Amino acid sequence: MTKDIYTPPSGPLQGSAPLLFPKMGQETLYQLSADVYQNIGKSEIADMFPKGEALMEASRKQAEFLIGILGGPPIYMEKHGHPRMRARHLPFEIDEFARQTWLRCFREALGDGANRGLTPSETAALMAWLEGFSAWMVNKAPS
């Protein structure tokens, strides 16, 4: 028996991520991702993620993905191949609650963006892109 895979009605993400790498830089994105994953580790979705060093490895992978998608070098692709993020996330049941929790963890780590070198409009553009991106990761139908 095969598992039905929910497809969000919005479909795949349209549009490119904002090119923020030149402003943020590699170290800022690694630190931002580490902060996001620390938040995740204390959140209601912590059980969906690995623990300890494996959690930090996941944060490094997220940073490498963000570095490339935001206009930096293609570190993620060089290490792990094409991102195929929806396919990589299919083994995990991601519902709207998990998505919103992940977004909250990201928002809390990012703050107003100033501590990451971003203006309010750049922060809003990044969060808008992440909202669209995360919507495509949802693979469990609403109850």
Which range of residues forms the domain containing residue 39? 21-137
CATH number of the domain to which 108 belongs: 1.10.490.10
pLDDT, one tens digit per residue, over 4-13 is: 788 888 888 8
Alpha helices in the chain (DSSP H): 21-41, 53-69, 75-80, 85-89, 96-110, 120-137
Domain count, the chain: 1
Per-residue confidence band for 3, with pLDDT thresholds at 50, 70 and 90: low
Residues present in the chain in total: 143
Radius of gyration for the chain, computed over Cα atoms and rounded to the nearest angstrom: 15
- Evaluate whether residue 2 is within a structural domain: no
- Evaluate whether residue 14 is within a structural domain: no
- Evaluate whether residue 16 is within a structural domain: no
- Evaluate whether residue 3 is within a structural domain: no
pLDDT, one tens digit per residue, over 86-142 is: 999 999 999 999 999 999 999 999 999 999 999 999 999 999 999 999 999 999 998
- Evaluate whether residue 109 is within a structural domain: yes
- Evaluate whether residue 41 is within a structural domain: yes
User: Position of tokens 């931002």?
Assistant: 32
- Evaluate whether residue 28 is within a structural domain: yes
- Evaluate whether residue 42 is within a structural domain: yes
pTM to 2 decimals?
Answer: 0.92
121 vs 126: CA distance, rounded Å: 9
Give residue 116's pLDDT.
Answer: 97
Give residue 48's pLDDT.
Answer: 95
Distances (CA, A) of 129 to 31, 35, 52, 106: 19, 19, 29, 12
Distance of CA 55 to the CA centre of its chain: 14
